[in-house]
Amino acid sequence: MAKKSQRVKFNLSGILLLILVVLFVFFLMFIVYMYSDLKKVEQSMFNLHQQMVTTNTKIDQYSVSDEESAQRSQKFTEATKQWQIYQNSDYHFQFKSPASWGSFYFTGTQVAQDGETVSVEDLPRLIGRFSNKNGNQAPDIILTKYDYLEDRLATQDVIGILKNSQPGECLPEIFQVLEMGLGSPIKNCFVNENILNQKYIQYRYFQSSEDGQILNLLVAVFPREDYYLHLDITNKTNTEIEYFIQSIVFLN
């Protein structure tokens, strides 16, 4: 009887020990699960916080940019409200200019070329002038098609580079293309934006004049798909010239 009683006690102790082990394992699994769940919650909270920080930063940057753009647009509108507007339906661009500059026109309406009368719009290179050229700093606007090989201040290669450029100093690729077209070193080059945030290039370079003087010239270039505009500007600019350049916009 004693051996049977001891066997029963041993079995009960073993079962109790097994139950305790199982409970301990379940407790450990519960602890691991709770810890894992807390880590997920913590990570989710961290991700949410990071998203909020990123979003707020973008909103702040947008607000600053939008405010600067609004102020710039307001100043431009106020300064040019009395200016006249020129629109070119053939090449889909327009600009505003002071009335004192006179009317703008591309030289001639038709020209003789190889014995035939050709419309000026069909020429590979057009020169536009203001009628009151004397007595003011109004620059000529030269429109050059890319098949006019005699004068290539810009190439179609610039368009792709310009799209990927941010406002500021030009990328080295633009320097190289412009210097090859000019055959002269460029002093500086910047990517700027017009009033519609369309990008253009503005740079300075040196050129020898006929009397031997070294000229420091400022040029603005607006590359398009089929042509480019470029403006030869006087050595010194003023607010009037700067607003005029910013007003040159493309309608498609």
Specify the pairing of strand 125-130 against strand 104-106: antiparallel
**Minimal CA–CA distance to 91: which of 245, 231, 241, 229?**
229
**Residue 37 has what pLDDT?**
65
Mean pLDDT confidence for 137-164: 76
Q: What is the pLDDT of residues 44-54, one digit of tens each?
A: 555 555 554 55
Mean pLDDT confidence for 63-75: 69
Long-range Cβ contacts of 122-125 (<8 Å, 24+ apart): 124/148, 125/150, 125/151
pTM: 0.65
In the block, tokens 């050595």 appear at 235
Q: Residue 20 and residue 24: Cα distance in Å, rounded?
A: 6
Answer whether residue 57 shows pLDDT above 70: no
Helices vs. strands in the chain: H and E counts, helices first: 4, 13
Answer whether residue 89 shows pLDDT above 70: yes
Q: Residue 128 and residue 248: Cα distance in Å, rounded?
A: 13
Which pLDDT band holds residue 131 (cuts at 50, 70, 90)? confident
User: How many Å separate Cα 87 from the centre of its chain?
Assistant: 24
**Minimal CA–CA distance to 187: which of 204, 173, 209, 170?**
204
**Residue 22 has what pLDDT?**
76
